[in-house]
């Protein structure tokens, strides 16, 4: 039970350090850790030394925005969401014959999906309506920090069976 509380305390401490731009990681060591007057030998695998690593979040955000090619990004779970709708999209015989479906998604200046267009010529009316249903369920795009212009843009979504 003491071990569980020790791990919970480490998690709480880590959360507090992360919230103040400091991140900590645990290092198992055999060296001595000074605690007041008495040095404590760390040879127990459950005892560990916390070594803080200071991270500047502004620099990390600036570096990420330099590497980004678009001022808008969809949340990570968006692709999983589209994958879960794949059987719904390709549920008819005619739509099951399509191997790759291309959809142009329009994003307005606030990151909201403002329209879509199915590029495939062999897409029937039902397939276009099902794709519209899926596009309306997609989450809003979020701005990537560091860009000067967050103008409307188009994304190409490719759905494969």
Residues contacting residue 9 through CB under 8 Å, at least 6 positions apart? none
> Residue 68: what pLDDT?
65
pTM: 0.57
Q: Rounded distance, CA 51 to CA 131, Å?
A: 50
Q: Rounded distance, CA 111 to CA 142, Å?
A: 6
Q: How confident is the model at residue 19 (pLDDT cuts 50, 70, 90)?
A: very low
> Residue 149: what pLDDT?
87
Tokens of 23: 């991140």
> Residue 11: what pLDDT?
40
In the three-class reduction of DSSP (H, G, I as helix; E, B as strand; rest coil), residue 3 is classed as helix
pLDDT in tens, 62-108: 666 556 678 888 888 998 999 999 999 999 999 999 999 999 999 99
Domains of the chain: 2-55 (no CATH), 69-160 (3.30.2420)
Predicted confidence (pLDDT) at residue 153 exceeds the cutoff of 50? yes
């Amino acid at each position: 039970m003491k071990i569980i509380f020790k791990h919970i305390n480490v998690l709480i401490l880590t959360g507090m350090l992360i919230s103040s731009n400091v991140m900590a990681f645990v290092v198992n060591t055999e060296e001595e850790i000074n605690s007041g007057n008495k040095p404590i030998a760390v040879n127990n695998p459950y005892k560990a030394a916390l070594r803080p690593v200071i991270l500047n979040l502004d620099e990390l955000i600036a570096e990420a925005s330099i590497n980004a090619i678009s001022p808008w990004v969809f949340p990570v779970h968006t692709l999983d969401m589209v994958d879960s709708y794949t059987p719904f999209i390709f549920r008819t015989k005619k739509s099951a014959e399509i191997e790759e479906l291309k959809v142009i998604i329009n994003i307005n200046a606030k990151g909201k999906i403002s329209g879509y267009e199915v590029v495939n010529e062999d897409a029937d009316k039902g397939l276009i309506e099902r794709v519209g249903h899926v596009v309306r369920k997609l989450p809003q795009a979020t701005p990537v920090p560091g860009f000067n212009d967050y103008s409307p843009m188009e994304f190409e979504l490719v759905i494969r069976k």
